[in-house]
Amino acid sequence: MKLIQNKLSITTFFISLFLIGCQSSEPEITFPSPEITPSPQTSIEVPEKPLILPTNNPEKIADTPIQTYLNRLTNQGFSEQNQGIWIQSNDTLLANYQGTIPLPAASITKVATSLVALKTFNPDHQFITLISITGKIENGVLNGDLIIQGGEDPFFVWEEAIAIGNLLNKKGIQRVTGNLIIAGKFYMNFQSNPQTAGNLFKEGINSQIWSGEALTQYQTLPPETPKPEVIIDGVVEVSPTPPENLKQLVEHYSFPLAELIKKMNQYSNNLMAEMLAEAVGGPQIVAEKAAEFSGVTKEEIQLINGSGLGEENRISPRAAVGMFLAINNYLQQYNMSVADVFAVVGEDKGILNERKLLPNFLVVKSGTLNYVSALGGALPTKEKGIIWFAILNKGANVDQLRSQQEILLQDVLNKWGTVESLPSELTANPARKSKKSGNRE
């Protein structure tokens, strides 16, 4: 079996910034179960220890910067009742203000989705999309149907369709007399409606009908990449089950799960988050398992979706920190850390590029709604080592809330010291950079 790697342009992510909101409903369809990659044969033993700490007796050293921060918010007209903070280092609670109260979390919700997806599958899990045919291929014509069996790949985009179109051309298919049949949960360009995704795929494999968007993405590929031409005479048909007597031509493998999650978090892609939450059983399963894995009460994680859209998604600051720690502890057995699935300030591109005052080497997830700004992750310091924190804010001026978060983190660094390089505990595994999606014939 030959593995063909796809190279994807990072610009694909910007599609996601315009693709939020409700999606069309999907019919009840069956789909192949995603492949679960087994855990590594030789895993590192990670000692079990509590992830979160009791709420009492935070170190007095943190009182001054936290109280100063809250005073600044009050002076700017923000209610202290709408703010929450939890900061801990190793086994020491450094700050707690309403730390166990669930507050609107915005895209900190994606931390819960990340945790549950990783532990449901594993970092190397790949979602599989099957491409098959009915009928025979004669003189460049498939006298039958082309079938896509979706496997819940949340990052199947133009480049994937182009690569598959070129493979079909290599196999002698230039025209399909029948239909394009979509069976299973097939997503494309972050569209989860199978009819919409199917129409996008039909376009992607036929350069004669490319939109400007498809052409733009093609131009990011290596110059020698052929333009596929697979003409489908029929229509896009959504079917509960695939036809019988299929001949499988291609297995498409998604990026490994860890890389999918990093892409989702770097650009806070809401639609990818919803797809991953669906893959593990939905938002209620995400909430229940995230609470279990992080060691907090169920009341501290309340979700209505996997992305964070809507103030009904509520997470306590303590639970947010617990989830980051749970992810980091879990990934250690794979020689990985939270930096493999969240953005590192100063090293990774993404939505945080606009926040110039965030400290370098901060491994972080942000969240923003109209009246909500949230920030959480790991901050390396000279004296206290890695600080795990969550700041959840609500108020009328999100820009002011962001600015005060940045000032607070700088105050923390002023007190405990700035590091000159990223510590090994927060360094992404360089071997993961070679992980790609691909096709097997």
- Residues with Cβ < 8 Å from 87, sequence gap 6 or more? 58, 62, 66, 93, 94, 95, 96, 321, 387, 388, 389, 412
- Under the banding of pLDDT at 50, 70 and 90, the label for residue 53 is confident
| DSSP state letters, 194-245 | HHHHHHHHHHHTBGGG--HHHHHHHTTS-TTPPPPB-EE-S-EEEESSPPSS
Assess whether pLDDT exceeds 50 at residue 30.
no
| DSSP state letters, 8-20 | --GGGGGGGGG--
Mean pLDDT for the chain overall: 89
Assess whether pLDDT exceeds 80 at residue 420.
yes
Residue 117: strand, helix, or coil? helix
- Under the banding of pLDDT at 50, 70 and 90, the label for residue 6 is very low
Sheet containing 103-104: give its strands across.
Answer: 103-104, 314-315, 301-302
Per cent of the chain over pLDDT 70 is 87
Q: Angle at CA 374, nearest 5°, toward 373 and 376? A: 160
Could you read off the pLDDT of 77-124 as tens digits, one per residue? 999 999 999 999 988 899 999 999 999 999 999 999 999 999 999 999
pLDDT of 59 reads 53
pLDDT of 65 reads 83
- Segment 187-202 shows an average pLDDT of 98
Could you read off the pLDDT of 389-419 as tens digits, one per residue? 999 999 999 999 999 999 999 999 999 999 9
- Segment 170-190 shows an average pLDDT of 98
Query: What does the DSSP 8-state code read for residue 37?
Result: P
Q: How many helices (H) and strands (E) does the chain have?
A: 10, 20
pLDDT of 91 reads 80
- Segment 263-289 shows an average pLDDT of 98
